[in-house]
A and B are shown apart, each in its own frame.
Chain A
């Protein structure tokens, strides 16, 4: 291991722990391992970091980009323009260089002939193709190993600790010790070559920090899978669709590792269905029969599932659907992100339907909300949506470690044989005994002559018998409304930061980091102080109403064209219709703080300068109880 370092940039011009890398490679070239080593190496140095994979809908050959942002302040939303571009893909190299910002660092293979382009950028040509011959004797592996060279070059240029990178490599390829041996020399050689041959003129520099204690790096899909495994999920059925496939695949992998008894018998079934209709149909059957069950899909799958989602709502069957949203309409951009299915999940299916939807914002919530969703489904006897997106599901997020769930899972109102004996067989499936809109159910196979009831998507009485009577129909629909009211007390409350300003920003899901960064910029650079409300569930709880009531203007930030969440707020809480403005982002990429700041300022011109005011509305007092974020 070489201990030499490139000469650090002069102290006054140095940019420490606040910049972004953009690695351009070809899909399927094995660059993912190198990118993860770089990401984890930085993470192990204690610097807050995020990794976002911008990949094509293709298996091999098309351009793909991986963006790593390091930020000492913990802003891990997408960076607007990269500071360092590593061009490993000849196909996209010219465009990558052309679109670089002024002053950006360009690292590329010296044979690409890019040195005449962009004199306003900093060029570091590297003989990658020659170096890989020395780094890797095996001809077949060179295509993969070449990527590890740029890791070494970056180590030298930007002061990324080599030992951290090597330990990240070992962790990344934990199960393949041979591959570790093949890749190690490339990191060392790339670093050595850069130290000896590149004269550093850029300002970017990493210094060890101590900000990542107790943190992990994980994708949201894997986090949700873990949450399911630890919270009693027993049946999952799914149909492959980007970007949700890795969720049920992770789930099956984890289950095979940790949910097989010593005798080889399994406490789970993961079934790949013939289509999304069957996937959700299996949930209707499994939930009805009493299993805690789950599927993951994306927008097109939700569209296909609509009929059975309505059956689940009306026949009152518990199951959980995680929508890992991608860009639509239609096939859209299958490998890009969007918050585009808000209406499609909240009001899924025909007739009067409304669904409970929860919105995780980070991997820890993705983990915890999996258990919350399974519990809510059983408690409320209805389909529950987890609305995630590609950015959370498939990208790499720094996260707090997950807490082991100790509470028993909530199975809701189920009558077993002993309960029926106590009741002398007297019960009615859809009778609102407790006044919360939720009836009691029995499971098929319950050994009691009065256990059975008949489940149907047609009109029914309290006793679950067929009915076309107007009064029966309305009474049942009104009970379902009561049940939805009950849901408000059970769903996750919003995270609210402040009731002291006149202007608020309301947002949800993966816009978290960009919105918080934007709020900080608005205050520091533009003098606008805003309060924040991060929605975590539909139906909207009392706290959301309080936030809307105590702010004169609330900007709703969302990643779709049609302001779908604002539409839902206007429909459900019409008295706040005039309070709302929208900040919208819909190009398929994750939101950046810059977009929020720009649209905020553009719309805010007509407002008086939002000075801090003392807020004393009566209901604000109660709402203050939820101040602060967790």
Chain B
């Protein structure tokens, strides 16, 4: 964090384990969480740290973004060595867009909530899905507003019960369905209680050159963990049905070629990394748009929470490439690069005279 002194060299005793760029797990850590004990969000935070450490991502090249809500507090709890921006309610996608065009080399990790993205920020959510930022967009979805004490959000299932006993009369908004329809190139639904799957998918999302939307069911232990809730830990544990067993092999890992791939599907991302899928509940190809659409439709007809990778388009163009930006981040250009010659102004003035 700003102002802290550089840590003293570690004592001679035991060298800490480090990743491929020589950083220890603690170099990816953040401040202590102030969320309720047992909150699903803290499980996700831990997986973000694991994934960044495992991949050897340089924290300084990451920018963390969030809106407002319990979920949006979490960027303070991981990657202290990355700049973070806890912005205003629902507007994170716009802020992420600005940050990305200002510096196209930033890897963005955004954490939002269901109220932040599906209610107040829906207008921005749908539009950022149309801009292929290099952004891992995590929605920590618990169906309620935590910081304002338990009101339903737009992702709450119809018929789900509030703690007070009120029943939600409205159909839910499915963020995965919306993201897919709007052209998002990486769509996954996950459950915060499924550690292994989360780690693999977050790793794949971070390696993905584009916008990855991860809708993670992340139960609120204080306001939405009771009998009758469809976003509680007990409900999700009882009803989660992983679509497939997911593995992720980073581009730099030489062991991939030696592995026995058996019956697995594999998806190669543009950076050369691989996602491997072994079918469990359903066998379908997430790179096939029709198969993914069918999968989303079928998921609506079941009471199960089908988790896994729903859709991947490994070849989508990044937004900053579509804009044709120079390689140097726009933020770092000097007037030497940005000020047209004096003759240009003279010509423009002559034309107006």
Known: A174-B351, A293-B102, A464-B1. A264 touches B84 (CB 8 A): no
Known: A285-B99, A291-B331. A308 touches B91 (CB 8 A): yes
Contact of A290 among B103, B123, B325 (CB under 8 A): B103
Contact of A269 among B3, B96, B101, B348 (CB under 8 A): B101
Bound CA span A450–B81, Å: 7
Q: What's the least CB distance linking A592 to chain B, in Å? A: 26
Contacts of B102 in A (CB 8 A): 234-235, 285-291, 293
* Contact A445 B76, beta carbon cutoff 8 Å: no
Contacts of B337 in A (CB 8 A): 267
Contacts of A447 in B (CB 8 A): 58, 60-61
Query: Closest chain A residue to B94 by CB distance?
Result: A281
Q: Which of A55-63, A100-108, A224-232, A532-540 contacts B (4 or more CB under 8 A)?
A: A224-232
Query: Closest chain A residue to B75 by CB distance?
Result: A454
Bound CA span A457–B95, Å: 13
Is A237 part of the contact surface with B, judged by Cβ < 8 Å? yes
> Of residues 324 to 353 in B, which have CB atoms within 8 Å of A's CB atoms?
324-327, 329-335, 337-340, 342, 344-346, 348-349, 351-353
* Contact A463 B3, beta carbon cutoff 8 Å: yes
* Contact A234 B330, beta carbon cutoff 8 Å: yes
Is A123 part of the contact surface with B, judged by Cβ < 8 Å? no
Is B97 part of the contact surface with A, judged by Cβ < 8 Å? yes
Bound CA span A455–B88, Å: 11
Is A274 part of the contact surface with B, judged by Cβ < 8 Å? yes
Contact of A261 among B91, B326, B352 (CB under 8 A): B326
Contacts of A293 in B (CB 8 A): 98, 102
Q: What's the least CB distance linking B87 to chain A, in Å? A: 7
| Contacts between chains A and B (CB distance < 8 A), count | 259
* Contact B2 A429, beta carbon cutoff 8 Å: yes
Is B155 part of the contact surface with A, judged by Cβ < 8 Å? no
* Contact B338 A445, beta carbon cutoff 8 Å: no
Q: What's the least CB distance linking B111 to chain A, in Å? A: 13
* Contact A267 B330, beta carbon cutoff 8 Å: yes
Is A122 part of the contact surface with B, judged by Cβ < 8 Å? no
Contacts of A426 in B (CB 8 A): 3, 5
Is A475 part of the contact surface with B, judged by Cβ < 8 Å? no
Query: Closest chain B residue to A449 by CB distance?
Result: B81
Question: Would you give the 0/1 interface string for B179-206, flagging 1 where the beta carbon is closer than 8 Å to chain A?
Answer: 0000000000000000000000000000
Is B70 part of the contact surface with A, judged by Cβ < 8 Å? no
* Contact B6 A424, beta carbon cutoff 8 Å: yes
Contacts of B75 in A (CB 8 A): 454
* Contact A452 B105, beta carbon cutoff 8 Å: no
> Of residues 1 to 57 in B, which have CB atoms within 8 Å of A's CB atoms?
1-6, 27, 31
Q: What's the least CB distance linking A124 to chain B, in Å? A: 32
Bound CA span A401–B352, Å: 9
* Contact B4 A230, beta carbon cutoff 8 Å: no
* Contact B6 A457, beta carbon cutoff 8 Å: no
Q: What's the least CB distance linking B344 to chain A, in Å? A: 5
Q: What's the least CB distance linking B313 to chain A, in Å? A: 22
Question: Would you give the 0/1 interface string for B304-328, flagging 1 where the beta carbon is closer than 8 Å to chain A?
Answer: 0000000000000000000111110
Known: A217-B352, A277-B94. A449 touches B86 (CB 8 A): no
Bound CA span A277–B61, Å: 27
Is A215 part of the contact surface with B, judged by Cβ < 8 Å? yes
Question: Would you give the 0/1 interface string for A261-284, flagging 1 where the beta carbon is closer than 8 Å to chain B?
Answer: 100111111010111011111111
Query: Closest chain A residue to B63 by CB distance?
Result: A444
Known: A174-B351, A268-B330. A448 touches B1 (CB 8 A): no
Bound CA span A230–B336, Å: 11
Known: A267-B338, A465-B1. A285 touches B84 (CB 8 A): no
* Contact B344 A258, beta carbon cutoff 8 Å: yes
Bound CA span A308–B91, Å: 9
Contacts of A465 in B (CB 8 A): 1, 31
Q: What's the least CB distance linking A190 to chain B, in Å? A: 26
* Contact A445 B61, beta carbon cutoff 8 Å: yes
Known: A278-B91, A428-B2. A226 touches B348 (CB 8 A): yes
Contacts of B338 in A (CB 8 A): 232-234, 259, 267-268
Contacts of B99 in A (CB 8 A): 285-286, 288-289, 444
A-side binding surface: helix, strand, loop or mixed?
A: loop
Bound CA span A161–B27, Å: 77
Contacts of B100 in A (CB 8 A): 285
* Contact A445 B5, beta carbon cutoff 8 Å: no
Contacts of A404 in B (CB 8 A): 342, 345-346
Query: Closest chain B residue to A215 by CB distance?
Result: B353
Contact of B106 among A218, A275, A289, A427 (CB under 8 A): A289
Contacts of B87 in A (CB 8 A): 281, 284, 311, 455, 457
Q: What's the least CB distance linking A524 to chain B, in Å? A: 32
Contacts of A268 in B (CB 8 A): 330, 338
Contacts of B1 in A (CB 8 A): 452-454, 463-465
Is A241 part of the contact surface with B, judged by Cβ < 8 Å? no
* Contact B327 A265, beta carbon cutoff 8 Å: yes
Q: What's the least CB distance linking A591 to chain B, in Å? A: 25
> Of residues 152 to 175 in B, which have CB atoms within 8 Å of A's CB atoms?
none
Is B83 part of the contact surface with A, judged by Cβ < 8 Å? yes
> Of residues 407 to 466 in A, which have CB atoms within 8 Å of B's CB atoms?
408-409, 424-429, 431, 442-458, 462-466
* Contact A274 B60, beta carbon cutoff 8 Å: no
Bound CA span A128–B172, Å: 64
Is B80 part of the contact surface with A, judged by Cβ < 8 Å? yes
> Of residues 354 to 408 in A, which have CB atoms within 8 Å of B's CB atoms?
401-402, 404-405, 408
Is B124 part of the contact surface with A, judged by Cβ < 8 Å? yes
Bound CA span A453–B80, Å: 8
Q: What's the least CB distance linking A342 to chain B, in Å? A: 25
Q: Which of A237, A264, A284, A429 has the most CB of B within 10 A?
A: A284
Query: Closest chain B residue to A263 by CB distance?
Result: B326
Query: Closest chain A residue to B84 by CB distance?
Result: A454
Contact of B91 among A281, A286, A401, A424 (CB under 8 A): A281
Known: A275-B123, A285-B95. A290 touches B323 (CB 8 A): no
Contacts of A402 in B (CB 8 A): 345, 349
Is B300 part of the contact surface with A, judged by Cβ < 8 Å? no
Known: A425-B4, A455-B86, A462-B3. A282 touches B98 (CB 8 A): yes
Bound CA span A24–B151, Å: 58
Bound CA span A458–B67, Å: 12
Is A216 part of the contact surface with B, judged by Cβ < 8 Å? yes
Query: Closest chain A residue to B85 by CB distance?
Result: A455
Query: Closest chain A residue to B352 by CB distance?
Result: A216
Is B82 part of the contact surface with A, judged by Cβ < 8 Å? yes
Is A141 part of the contact surface with B, judged by Cβ < 8 Å? no
Contact of A278 among B94, B323, B334, B352 (CB under 8 A): B94
Q: What's the least CB distance linking B7 to chain A, in Å? A: 9
Contact of A282 among B2, B97, B103, B329 (CB under 8 A): B97
Is A343 part of the contact surface with B, judged by Cβ < 8 Å? no
Bound CA span A311–B4, Å: 25
Contacts of A315 in B (CB 8 A): 85
Bound CA span A452–B4, Å: 11
Q: What's the least CB distance linking B88 to chain A, in Å? A: 5
Besides A218-B352, A455-B84, A455-B85, 16 more A-B contacts (Cβ < 8 Å) are A234-B333, A259-B338, A265-B326, A266-B323, A267-B338, A271-B97, A277-B124, A278-B94, A278-B124, A286-B101, A291-B330, A401-B349, A408-B335, A425-B5, A443-B331, A449-B60
Q: List 11 A-B contacts (CB under 8 A).
A: A232-B338, A259-B338, A265-B326, A267-B338, A284-B91, A289-B331, A444-B103, A445-B106, A446-B60, A452-B2, A456-B86
| Shortest 3 CB-CB contacts between residues of A and residues of B | A285-B98, A281-B94, A290-B331
